[in-house]
């Protein structure tokens, strides 16, 4: 039985063309024990997300040359388990409704209260079932079990990705212990591999 657990940081990507906003949010989030990164060019968003392990995206809805709602759709299409929180300095009911329709977790207006943003992020952690209290050894055990069961079922990464609706890169990261999967991710993998979720947590 693994007893010693350490708090694992939630990784957050900020996408906003205003660098001052990004720097402020990054500092604020890091002060609250989150890992934060940012980009000011939204055209880099999808490649950055593909090549990194983020659980939460904070996305400005209005940026030059990019429709925030369409970018939201692309992000959710890339990985539906990603939590996206929308920001807007010019909120309208129609835009807010459109973002919720396309899977955003919450819609926050600028300027925002720090505590309100923090409450939204903590709510997302609970809602999405992000695991924050597994140590590296436990993550490695889950990784090995996913890999072994996939091999036993004779499935490629691509085949498992197709069955789960997850990206091959995310499954690769899970199998190599590079990310702590959410409960939703483990549930999808378990279902695709005809296994019970308890199998992945047994003895941890």
| Residue tagged 């720097």 (tokens) | 23
Report the alpha-carbon angle 180-170-32, nearest 5. 40
DSSP string, 126-189: HHHT---S--HHHHHHHHHHHHHHHHHTT--HHHHHHHHT--HHHHHHHHTTSS---HHHHHHH
pLDDT tens-digit readout, 39-82: 999 999 999 998 888 999 999 998 988 889 999 999 998 888 88
Q: What is the pLDDT of residue 156?
A: 95
pLDDT tens-digit readout, 137-176: 788 899 999 999 999 999 999 999 999 988 888 899 899 8
Task: Record the pTM.
Answer: 0.67
Domains and CATH numbers, the chain: 11-128 (3.40.50.2300), 136-201 (1.10.260.40)
CB 69 within 8 A of CB 61: yes
Q: What is the pLDDT of residue 3?
A: 35
Q: What is the pLDDT of residue 4?
A: 35
Biggest CA–CA distance in the chain, Å, is: 52
Integer Cα distance of 22 and 37 in angstroms: 8
| More confident of the two residues 190 and 203 | 190
For the ranges 106-110, 158-162, 181-185, the lowest mean pLDDT is seen at 181-185
């Amino acid at each position: 039985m693994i007893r010693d657990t350490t708090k694992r940081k939630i990784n957050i990507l900020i996408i906003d063309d205003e660098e001052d906003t990004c720097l402020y949010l990054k500092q604020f989030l890091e002060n609250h024990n989150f890992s934060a990164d940012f980009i000011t060019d939204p055209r880099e968003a999808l490649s950055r997300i593909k090549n990194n392990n983020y659980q939460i995206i904070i996305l400005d809805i209005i940026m030059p040359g990019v429709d925030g709602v369409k970018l939201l759709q692309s992000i959710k299409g890339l990985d539906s388990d990603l939590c996206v929180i929308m920001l807007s300095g010019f909120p309208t009911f129609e835009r807010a409704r459109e973002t919720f329709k396309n899977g955003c977790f919450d819609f926050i207006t600028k300027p925002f209260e720090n505590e309100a943003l923090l409450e939204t992020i903590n709510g997302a952690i609970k809602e999405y079932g992000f695991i924050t209290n597994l140590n590296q050894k436990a993550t490695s055990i889950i990784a090995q079990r996913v890999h072994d069961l996939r091999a036993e079922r004779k499935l490629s990464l691509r085949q498992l990705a197709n069955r789960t609706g997850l990206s091959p890169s995310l499954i690769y990261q899970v199998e190599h212990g590079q990310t702590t999967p959410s409960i939703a991710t483990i549930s999808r993998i378990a279902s695709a591999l005809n296994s019970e979720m308890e199998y992945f947590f047994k003895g941890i």
